[in-house]
Chains A and B, each alone.
Chain A
């Protein structure tokens, strides 16, 4: 059953129960418990196409979003993120419960999921071929992957590229994309069908709004895919689009330093990075406009090498 079909009333009831709600996010199952309507409303909207699993399913992560005890429960209410009885972050203002959940879930994934090599990269797919966009925060990978997702590509993730060591395939986690500041208007203005959650002003990263992932991408959340293109994007206003082929040994270093857990994965990490680099076409990309970059990436994918 999809979250949408559950309805807000049932979601509120189930999220408050001992078992919580088991949400299938692709590579993982997350058990969410909360008694905060404001959070559940946003969750219900942005995750509407995601499957709800029966409560006796094995969940990888346990997350509780609730108010701390004490006077702050009523006075300027705050909200906390609890996982397995631990509270790794300071409380957020109640209105920012959803960004706290998303941030905390990222933290859980990054800390624990060493069964996969985790690149700090957005990833999208077309014709069964994945395009990986590894980049540092601020380089525009979320915005670019959002634009690709709105333009016919299947969206797999804006943050984590999870590579399965057994077959080198990428597992999707097509969660909502947090767009920041100017990106929000850029996506809204360019893609009129883009649906976004509420605006969260004054977060650590400025104003944030989450883009709801395309329904089709969410429906394919169990379909792993092999990588074909590795592109290191950089948004630079008012520049001509530029695509440079990269030499492979250099890409190995770039990927190794980009991954969250390259060193931890040891030899497996090295083998994966090496194999992926040799099987993919690798480029540096500088862009400033969607009407240039989107056709270029479409063409690039179509080229047979």
Chain B
């Protein structure tokens, strides 16, 4: 009998990387695939992938209904997001501020093909730190409300975070995260937001800017390997990175050289190393070995061994019926790591103590 966890890994990764293998799936395997893909928000993506490979005819009718439902959710979130961006632009009309759209919203604006199947959670925008007060106040005056936070969280956001507390318009359901840089101020890495803004590009016909292609990849890498907790729900981010590179690389000569240079300039070699390493090794992305190996951000032997063991274990979704203890442990270790990277010890210890106290009291946390 196959070990359940290996089974998940095999069918999920095979179907994402070698779509033609869906032809060999049994009904039970389809069922497991759908459950796992839904869990990691890749159901609509999987449909898109199969569709773009001309394999939709190999999908059983009952599975198709799940794909249809997932795609409708994605379409709906994308509509909400585009409307929200429209409203934000309108609210800021008279202000002379430059607004950048990050992540999913940016992929939408650029109409990168895979974005039409990417489930968008919220809107992320970035402005210069000197503009943040103007933008926040302006949005608040026009119906956006700041999430209700206690004093500690408020204070924490204002002092250490790379964004202000989340905003949401009173009549709508989508959250707006307003950033002034891409990592918390307490984080070990401090890429310069000025450099990122300087290189940003204008989206045709729309009054928004987005990061340049290489910066978009670096931002997503930083987010995944320096800000996220690296559990099954973050697996999608790795798939995003594979798709972004697959989309942008053919459009630019010396793409990887430019990407590595830019990483060096922004001091983001380490997260880029992880991205290239893991999309190559887990998702079979065609990355020439030299660009992985010659990256000076390559971690030490021990760190590499640890990360190569923990990341796949934590990141690949679990079999929903058979969760494993070692995965829980790997996720916990990477959770601690993510906090350790986000803030120095003298901040981390009191923060984690407080979070566990709040958890015991059963209160909402972020």
CB within 8 Å for A58 and B63 given contacts A85-B320, A85-B321, A85-B323:
yes
Instruction: Choose the segment among A109-117, A229-237, A241-249, A294-302 that binds chain B (4+ C-beta atoms closer than 8 Å).
Output: A109-117
Q: Is there a chain B Cβ closer than 8 Å to A9's Cβ?
A: no
CB within 8 Å for A265 and B27 given contacts A62-B320, A85-B318, A85-B320:
no
A60 contacts B66, C-beta separation under 8 Å: yes
Q: Is there a chain A Cβ closer than 8 Å to B177's Cβ?
A: no
Of the candidates B76, B320, B323, which one forms a contact with A263 in the assembled complex, judged by CB atoms under 8 Å apart? B76
CB within 8 Å for A264 and B60 given contacts A84-B38, A84-B320, A85-B318:
no
B66 contacts A85, C-beta separation under 8 Å: no
Instruction: Choose the segment among B67-75, B332-340, B341-349 that binds chain A (4+ C-beta atoms closer than 8 Å).
Output: B67-75
Chain B, 74-131, CB within 8 A of any chain A CB: 75-76, 79
Residues of chain B within 8 A (CB-CB) of A112 are: 66, 69
A56 contacts B26, C-beta separation under 8 Å: yes
| Cβ of B352 to closest chain A Cβ, rounded Å | 25
**Complex alpha-carbon distance, A29 and B63, angstroms:** 12
Chain A interface SS verdict (over half):
loop
Interface string of B17-60 (1 = CB under 8 A from A): 00000000011101100010011000000000000000000001
Residues of chain B within 8 A (CB-CB) of A220 are: none
Of the candidates B27, B28, B35, B72, which one forms a contact with A266 in the assembled complex, judged by CB atoms under 8 Å apart? B72
**Complex alpha-carbon distance, A84 and B28, angstroms:** 14
Q: Is there a chain A Cβ closer than 8 Å to B62's Cβ?
A: yes
Q: Is there a chain A Cβ closer than 8 Å to B300's Cβ?
A: no
Contact-residue size bin, chain A (C-beta under 8 Å from the other chain): 20 to 34
**Complex alpha-carbon distance, A114 and B65, angstroms:** 8
B69 contacts A58, C-beta separation under 8 Å: no
| Cβ of A172 to closest chain B Cβ, rounded Å | 16
| Cβ of B59 to closest chain A Cβ, rounded Å | 11
B320 contacts A264, C-beta separation under 8 Å: no
Q: Which residue of A lies closest to B75 (CB)?
A: A266
**Complex alpha-carbon distance, A28 and B66, angstroms:** 11
| Cβ of A141 to closest chain B Cβ, rounded Å | 25
Q: Is there a chain B Cβ closer than 8 Å to A57's Cβ?
A: yes
A114 contacts B26, C-beta separation under 8 Å: no
**Complex alpha-carbon distance, A57 and B28, angstroms:** 7
Residues of chain A within 8 A (CB-CB) of B73 are: 114, 264
**Complex alpha-carbon distance, A60 and B34, angstroms:** 9
CB within 8 Å for A264 and B72 given contacts A58-B63, A62-B320:
yes
**Complex alpha-carbon distance, A112 and B72, angstroms:** 10
Of the candidates A18, A29, A57, A265, which one forms a contact with B72 in the assembled complex, judged by CB atoms under 8 Å apart? A265
- Tally B residues with Cβ within 8 Å of A: 25
Chain B, 307-366, CB within 8 A of any chain A CB: 318, 320-321, 323
A56 contacts B28, C-beta separation under 8 Å: yes
| Cβ of A288 to closest chain B Cβ, rounded Å | 38
**Complex alpha-carbon distance, A57 and B63, angstroms:** 12
Residues of chain A within 8 A (CB-CB) of B65 are: 60, 115
Residues of chain A within 8 A (CB-CB) of B321 are: 18, 62, 85
A85 contacts B39, C-beta separation under 8 Å: yes
Q: Is there a chain B Cβ closer than 8 Å to A59's Cβ?
A: yes
B69 contacts A84, C-beta separation under 8 Å: no
Residues of chain B within 8 A (CB-CB) of A113 are: 69
B35 contacts A114, C-beta separation under 8 Å: no
Interface string of A100-123 (1 = CB under 8 A from B): 000000000000111100000000
**Complex alpha-carbon distance, A107 and B26, angstroms:** 28
A114 contacts B320, C-beta separation under 8 Å: no
Considering residues A56, A57, A58, A59, which has the most beta carbons from chain B within 10 angstroms of its beta carbon? A58
Of the candidates B27, B72, B318, which one forms a contact with A114 in the assembled complex, judged by CB atoms under 8 Å apart? B72
A84 contacts B39, C-beta separation under 8 Å: yes
A58 contacts B320, C-beta separation under 8 Å: no
**Complex alpha-carbon distance, A261 and B76, angstroms:** 10
**Complex alpha-carbon distance, A115 and B38, angstroms:** 15
Interface string of B201-214 (1 = CB under 8 A from A): 00000000000000
**Complex alpha-carbon distance, A56 and B27, angstroms:** 7
CB within 8 Å for A60 and B62 given contacts A263-B76, A266-B75:
yes
**Complex alpha-carbon distance, A56 and B32, angstroms:** 11
CB within 8 Å for A58 and B68 given contacts A85-B318, A85-B320, A263-B76:
no
Interface string of B249-264 (1 = CB under 8 A from A): 0000000000000000
B69 contacts A114, C-beta separation under 8 Å: yes
**Complex alpha-carbon distance, A248 and B65, angstroms:** 31
| Cβ of A28 to closest chain B Cβ, rounded Å | 9
Q: Which residue of A lies closest to B36 (CB)?
A: A84
Residues of chain B within 8 A (CB-CB) of A56 are: 26-28
Residues of chain B within 8 A (CB-CB) of A62 are: 35, 320-321
Given contacts A29-B62, A58-B30, 5 further A-B contacts (CB under 8 A): A56-B26, A56-B27, A62-B35, A62-B320, A85-B318
B-side residues, CB < 8 A to A, are 26-28, 30-31, 35, 38-39, 60, 62-63, 65-66, 68-70, 72-73, 75-76, 79, 318, 320-321, 323
A-side residues, CB < 8 A to B, are 18, 29, 56-60, 62, 84-85, 112-115, 261, 263-266, 268
A-B residue pairs in contact (CB < 8 Å), sample of 28: A18-B321, A56-B28, A58-B31, A58-B60, A58-B62, A58-B63, A59-B31, A60-B65, A60-B66, A62-B35, A62-B320, A84-B35, A84-B38, A84-B39, A85-B318, A85-B320, A85-B321, A85-B323, A112-B66, A114-B68, A114-B70, A115-B66, A115-B68, A261-B72, A263-B76, A264-B72, A264-B73, A265-B72
The 3 closest A-B pairs by CB, nearest first: A85-B320, A114-B69, A115-B65
